Amino acid sequence: MNKTSETRKEEIVRVAAKLFKKKGYSAVTMRDIASEMGIKAASLYNHITSKQDILDVIIISLAEAFTEGMQQIRSSEENCVGKLKQIIELHVRLSSQNIYGMASLNNDWMHLKEKRDYFKRLRVNYEDDFIDILKKGIASGEILDAKPEIMMFSILTTLRSLYIWIPKKEDLDLEELIGTLSKILVKGVAC
Amino acid sequence: MNKTSETRKEEIVRVAAKLFKKKGYSAVTMRDIASEMGIKAASLYNHITSKQDILDVIIISLAEAFTEGMQQIRSSEENCVGKLKQIIELHVRLSSQNIYGMASLNNDWMHLKEKRDYFKRLRVNYEDDFIDILKKGIASGEILDAKPEIMMFSILTTLRSLYIWIPKKEDLDLEELIGTLSKILVKGVAC
DNA sequence: GTCTATATTTTGATAGAC
DNA sequence: GTCTATCAAAATATAGAC
């Protein structure tokens, strides 16, 4: 496997994700993607089997990366606040590495077909793991005794929207972003 | 003006918004909307001029409601933290009154045409007003001295995602939601 | 690997009968 | 105010030449 040069399929996925972020999956045509690459739409089908195929790759690979990250955090030795900071770091890292893909993960998952149920399972499991961390923090006295669902909602929506904000500040220091977010988000729920 | 009974156009807008939330503007067809109302697609055009027209009504009316709400908050006598709580209340109120419209406001605004620039102007002004409140709070010592853009981002993304979460909890007490959110979000940025 | 040509379906929208 | 019939454009995808 050659990791230094991008395959044609990877290029299609990358270009498509960029367009999906701008207009959404349904509004982007195969001609749009091809045109952006300087080729004709029919040529795309030598590398991918369908438009659906492109969306599947974008979303599932990212969803699995989040699942993997959460599994590592779960098995870490940190306390609850430490795990929250690890979650924040996970989102900042994956979001900044794949801004365009994060847009599809958030907005285009409903256009998945066969992989839709699998995606939803991954997402529910992720949220369950997140709530579990908060509940243990409440029990141990690290975390504010408020509804864990609302606390998770508040933190997770901020993290899920990072892809909108990261590209706006070209001078953005990722470490500083992680620090400020940790301060704000953790302070909001900590005791 | 009869406010008790819904006009046909209002019904179209309401049904369309519900479908837009589920699949996004581009993926919803005029036939989808008509079918949901039990009529044929051609009949819709006796009440609206185009699919674009429907989206314009949904988004602009909501965007203007937020602008109005922010203007009232700006001119209120509350201190910074009080104004933040008023903003939270504004979002919870408008979101719970129009769950479906909020989805379009968040996800379908890029499909506006002539009204797109107007919408973006309203949104930028809203964010500027928000940041202004935070900056005054920093100056007066009410608010944490962190980047106001990141603080606003964190609070605003939570509030903009309310439409996703409000319908999930049918037993949701709006007053309780406002209370918990105020506690979490304000605590995250307060001194 | 890309092209042209084309098949097939679906789309937003209009015309005109009732 | 709704219908049937229909149009014109645009969509995904395939076949076959180069």
- At B13-30, the pLDDT tens digits run 999 999 999 999 999 999
A28 domain-assigned: no
pLDDT of residue A14: 98
Q: Tell me phi and psi for residue A190, to 5 degrees.
A: -80, 160
Which residues are registered as beta bridge partners of A143? Answer: A190
B9 domain-assigned: no
pLDDT tens column, A83-118: 999 999 999 999 999 999 999 999 999 999 999 999
Chain A: residue whose CA lies nearest to B191: A187
Nucleotide nearest to B52 (CA to C1'): C12
> Hey, is A25 helix, strand or coil?
helix
Q: What is the mean pLDDT of residues A162-178?
A: 86
pLDDT of residue A150: 93
A154 reaches B (C-beta below 8 A): yes
Protein CA A40 to sugar C1' D11 (Å): 15
B36 domain-assigned: no
Task: Tell me which residue has tokens 């001194």.
Answer: B191
pLDDT of residue A19: 98
- CB within 8 Å of B135: residues ≥ 6 apart: B148
- Within 7 A of a protein CB, which nucleotides of strand C? 1-5, 10-16
Protein CA B45 to sugar C1' C15 (Å): 13
The answer to whether B24 contacts A23, with C-beta atoms less than 8 Å apart, is no
Band (A3; pLDDT cuts 50, 70, 90): low
The answer to whether A26 CB sits below 7 Å from nucleic acid chain D is no
% of chain A beyond a pLDDT of 70: 97
Surface of A (74-93) touching B: CB under 8 A: none
Protein CA A113 to sugar C1' C7 (Å): 25
Of A27, A147, A158, the CB nearest to B154: A158
**CATH number reported for the structural domain that contains residue A87 in this entry:** 1.10.357.10
Task: Tell me which residue has tokens 């699942």.
Answer: A67
Torsion region of A89: left, alpha or beta (phi above 0 gives left; psi -120 to 50 gives alpha): alpha
Question: Does residue A170 or residue A127 have the better pLDDT?
Answer: A127
Mean pLDDT taken over chain A: 96
Q: Distance from B3 to chain A by nearest Cα, in Å? A: 35
Of A24, A26, A185, the CB nearest to B188: A185
B52 reaches A (C-beta below 8 A): no
pLDDT above 90 for B1? no
B174 domain-assigned: yes
pLDDT tens column, B100-130: 999 999 999 999 999 999 999 999 999 999 9
Domain count, chain B: 1
pLDDT above 70 for B5? yes
pLDDT of residue A168: 73
A164 reaches B (C-beta below 8 A): yes
Nucleotide nearest to A39 (CA to C1'): C2
Q: A160: domain range?
A: 52-187
pLDDT of residue B168: 73
Tell me the chain A residues in contact with residue B177 when contact means C-beta distances shorter than 8 Å: 150
The answer to whether A189 contacts B185, with C-beta atoms less than 8 Å apart, is no
Q: What is the mean pLDDT of residues A13-40?
A: 98
Q: Distance from A75 to chain B by nearest Cα, in Å? A: 27
pLDDT of residue B167: 73
A90 domain-assigned: yes
pLDDT above 80 for B54? yes
Whether B48 contacts B55, CB under 8 Å: no
pLDDT above 80 for A169? no
Cα separation, A185 vs A134, in Å, equals: 13
What b/e string do you get for A17-50 counting C-beta neighbours within 10 Å, with b at 16 or more? bbbbbeebbbbbebebbbeebeeeeeebeeebee
Q: Closest residue by Cα to the C1' atom of nucleotide C15?
A: B42
Of B110, B150, B169, the CB nearest to A23: B110
B183 domain-assigned: yes
Q: What is the mean pLDDT of residues A24-30?
A: 98
pLDDT of residue B50: 98
What b/e string do you get for B150-164 counting C-beta neighbours within 10 Å, with b at 16 or more? bbbbbbbbbbbbbbb
The B 1-40 residues near strand D by Cβ under 7 Å are 8, 34, 38-40
pLDDT of residue B2: 58
Q: What is the mean pLDDT of residues B125-153?
A: 96
A148 domain-assigned: yes
B103 domain-assigned: yes
The answer to whether A8 CB sits below 7 Å from nucleic acid chain C is yes
Band (B4; pLDDT cuts 50, 70, 90): confident
- CB within 8 Å of B21: residues ≥ 6 apart: B99, B100, B103, B104, B163
